[in-house]
A and B are shown apart, each in its own frame.
Chain A
Amino acid sequence: MVAGFFKTMAAGTRHSTIAVLAAAALLGGCASGDTGANEPWDPLETPNRFIFSINRAVDIIAIRPIAVLYRDWMPAPAQRGVHNVLDNLGEPVTAINEVVQGDPSRAATTMARFLVNSTIGLAGIFDVATSFGLTHTKEGAGNTVGYYAGVEPENGGFYMVLPLAGPSNARDAAGLMADYAVDPFRILTFALNVDWLLYSGPRWGATVVDVRSRTLYALDDLEKNSVDYYAALRSAYTQQRADIIRQKREKTDSRSELQRRDNLALVR
């Protein structure tokens, strides 16, 4: 099912550049008077809630139980190995984004990591690069758009719930498509007509289990301690994405998080 979803996304990749530009234009539209205290913009709330409930049913029936089994029964080194392999497969996309973000030296470090881990680290199972002092970063086109968009990072365009992939917004969904379009592994396996059972199926399957097993605790907490889980997740997602993008901007941007919180206190 996951593979199916990403295949349909492949059909849409040609439009992804347009989508990115459209997202950037949307983002640029509403810059003034934004204190970050507003609720996330959610004009598609009704369809979003519908997809959210389907996602939740699929999660309860299939994904969550698998993730729990995986977390509790898979040996920790094996879990770390799977996570490392997935991280390693994501390095080229991270490097491309770091170049676009104007940080080629960081991109070089990422590519060095990729070369070291793919060879000495046995196809990425072992993260030897970190012990060489090459630290891990993860970047996506969503971060890149957020980095350049001149708005509060809480404002990522309209909020949307993607089938299976879960919470997202215009910025991050467009980012996902752009990342998929430029992913060298995706391009290579498409060009060589590699069967999806050999590459994309296992990769996305493992990604779902890995991500879900890592978010088990946080999402259970959120669900238990909210009266409207949909709204709580929407808020938490928006805040966390904003935090990541704000940290990227911090180096160059003088509008800091603390200033934003001062504004917030005034609103309150």
Chain B
Amino acid sequence: MQLASRRAVLCLAVAALAAPAQAANSPAAALIEKAANEVIALIKAKTGRDREAGIRAILVAYFDLPFMGQSALGTHWAAASAPQRERFLKAVASAEARAYSERFGRYGGQTLAVGRVSTRPNGVTMVDSKLSQSNGQPITIQWELRDAGQGLRITDVKIEGVSMVMTRRSDFNSYIQNHGGKVEPLIEELEKRAAN
């Protein structure tokens, strides 16, 4: 047991050493680290509604929420009218704020070690990271970043191989198909949820 934990500490130390070296030449890794630090500071300082508002501000600053929303709607995006798109993006942004506020709210005592950064020819940057917990296995988190004209932004988070955007996309698609293939019921449902 002791040996194992010593090894884990060593791994983390190596990761911690490796991270600044990569962070120095990778704006993507630096962005993730900056966002993580902001989240940690916010979680320590605020609770409840204030925390949700703070998380929302961080999401707007670091995530490309319109892109994520559009990806989540998939092929139905084309079928939606301009006002529908606007309402949908607004509702999805508050849904995301609530979801991440809760996810980050559990963030306490863990450390996020940023690892390998890989840039793809199509302009997507993937940042690997590990969230080490005080008990149990570390959680693998992959961040997907894109630059769509307004600087590098996070466009997807993959936790243990499960993409948040892909899951939402599947979720929304199924809901739309079970409600007559129309986007309107989904928007209404999301707005209703955002209201409470």
Contacts and interface: CB of A to CB of B under 8 A. Distances in A.
A224 B102 CA distance: 10
A265 interface: yes
Chain B residues touching A, range: 35 or more
B161 interface: yes
Given A239-B166, A258-B118, A230 B174 contact: yes
Contact of A240 (B74, B98, B162): B162
B160 A221 contact: no
Given A130-B4, A133-B3, A221-B103, A231 B173 contact: yes
B171 A226 contact: yes
B171 A235 contact: yes
Given A131-B2, A243-B160, A258-B126, A228 B171 contact: yes
A230 B193 CA distance: 18
Q: How large is the interface on A (under 10, 10 to 19, 20 to 34, 35 or more residues)?
A: 35 or more
Contacts of B81: none
B3 A131 contact: yes
A236 B167 contact: yes
Interface in A245-268: 246, 258, 261-262, 265-266, 268
Majority SS at the chain A contact face? helix
B160 A227 contact: no
Interface string B173-196: 111001000000010011001000
A235 B167 contact: yes
Contact of A239 (B1, B162, B186, B190): B162
B144 interface: yes
Contact of B71 (A230, A261, A268): A268
B163 A239 contact: yes
Nearest to B98: A225
Given A130-B4, A131-B2, A268-B71, A236 B174 contact: no
A232 B4 contact: no
Contacts of A224: 99, 102
Contact of B170 (A133, A231, A246): A231
B120 interface: yes
Given A131-B3, A243-B160, A244-B161, A235 B118 contact: no
Interface in B71-127: 71, 74, 95, 98-99, 102-103, 106, 118, 120-122, 124, 126
27 contacts: A39-B170, A76-B135, A130-B1, A131-B4, A217-B106, A221-B99, A224-B102, A227-B186, A227-B190, A228-B172, A228-B178, A230-B174, A231-B170, A231-B171, A231-B174, A231-B175, A232-B167, A234-B170, A235-B170, A236-B162, A239-B162, A239-B163, A239-B166, A240-B162, A258-B118, A262-B120, A265-B124
Interface of A: 39-40, 76, 127-128, 130-133, 217, 221-222, 224-228, 230-232, 234-236, 239-240, 242-244, 246, 258, 261-262, 265-266, 268
Given A221-B103, A228-B178, A246-B161, 6 more contacts: A225-B99, A231-B173, A239-B166, A240-B161, A258-B126, A261-B124
Question: 6 tightest CB-CB pairs across the interface, nearest first?
Answer: A243-B161, A231-B174, A235-B170, A232-B171, A225-B99, A228-B175
